Every structure is written in C-alpha cells, then in structure tokens.
Amino acid sequence: MEKTLTFERARIGEADTLMKFEERVADPRLYGAPSNLERARREIRRNRLYFVKSGDAIVGTAAFCSKPGNRVYISNVAVDPRYRRQGIARAALTFILGRCTGATRIELVTHPENEAALRLYSSFGFEIKSRHENYFGDGEPRLVMSREAIADRRETHVNSSGSHQTTPS
C-alpha cells in the first residue's frame, strides 16, 4: 500500500460513496448497521467527515463535530477491512486530534466488546467515563470515553487542493 494517506472532506454529493464504504465496514452489533443514502447525507451534513484515501482508494473515514461547552465529539473512525492493522485508524485519530485545538474535551462512544476500538482509543489516552445499556436505541451497550484536547504534535500537511496528507506509522 502507498504510504501517504490523504484526508478529503466529503461533499454532500458523495453520500452514495460513503454508503458503499459503510457497507464494507458494517458490523450491526459492534459498530452499526450499513447506512442508507439519507443517513449518509445526514452524516456528511452534521459532521466534518473525511474520506481517508491511499491513492484513489478510500481506505477509511474519520468524522467529528463540535459540541456545546468546547467539546468535540468523534462520530466516526472506520477502516476498510482490507486495509486494517496498517496504522490507518491511528493516522485518522491523529488527524482529528490535530484539529481539536480550540476544544477542551474530546468525546466518543464505542461498544464495550469492540476490542480493536478500545485498544486504539486507550492508546490515545481516552478513558471510559460511563456505560449505557441502550445508548443508540439498538439494544446494545455503549461506553462513553473522553480525554482532554491536547493536540497531538504529529504534523499533518495541507496541500494546495485543500486536502490533507499524513503518513501512517
């Protein structure tokens, strides 16, 4: 795989691309059911949602949004199963944290049995704050995790087309 990752902000017209990506990633219990077009549009509209690309291939997504009280909520970090364990989620999280400089707290929600996500987030200093038995109304438990918003020092480059590049470790 090419080493440089590009982060491209999703446009509303790319909802079908997001939907197709989410079909590849979907895990109805641990992560969530595949999206439909309306939900994909809503995700792009409400969040800062980026496609993570390696060359022309969409290998992941990363999304976050601002919340009242100087908080940032990470609504999505996902990697295509074919590209996992190559540091892409780590690069995506680093990318997001680098954009949270004005925030005081960063929050996210994950399933207590999502071992990969728990390890990933713990390694970035996120701590479990609370457990909710039916957080999204899907009958599955979720953990709320958070950490302070100290920007990761790792550099992310902005190129002339407005997309961002970084390199997975």
Tokens at 74, concatenated: 């990470």
Q: Which stretch binds ligand COA (CB under 6 A): 40-48, 112-120, 129-137, 158-166?
A: 112-120
Separation of alpha carbons 91 and 135, rounded Å: 27
Task: Write out the two tokens for 169.
Answer: 């470790």
Single residue of 25, 49, 100, 143 touching ligand COA by CB under 6 A: 25
Residue from 49, 100, 117, 143 that binds ligand COA (CB under 6 A)?
117
Quote the tokens at residue 10. 């999703």
Mask for 71-110, x = binds ligand COA (CB under 6 A): ------xxx----xxxxxxx-------------------x
Query: Of residues 35-74, which lie at the interface with ligand COA (CB under 6 A)?
Result: none
Q: Locate 108 and state its tokens.
A: 């996210």
**Helix residue spans in 8-140 (DSSP H):** 15-25, 37-46, 88-97, 115-123
Smallest gap from residue 86 Cβ to ligand COA (A)? 5
* Pair 144, 130: CB distance under 8 Å: yes
Q: Is residue 167 a contact point for ligand COA (CB under 6 A)?
A: no
User: Tokens representing 25?
Assistant: 């990633």
**Which residue ranges make up the site for ligand COA (CB under 6 A)?**
25, 30-31, 77-79, 84-90, 110, 114-117, 119-120, 123
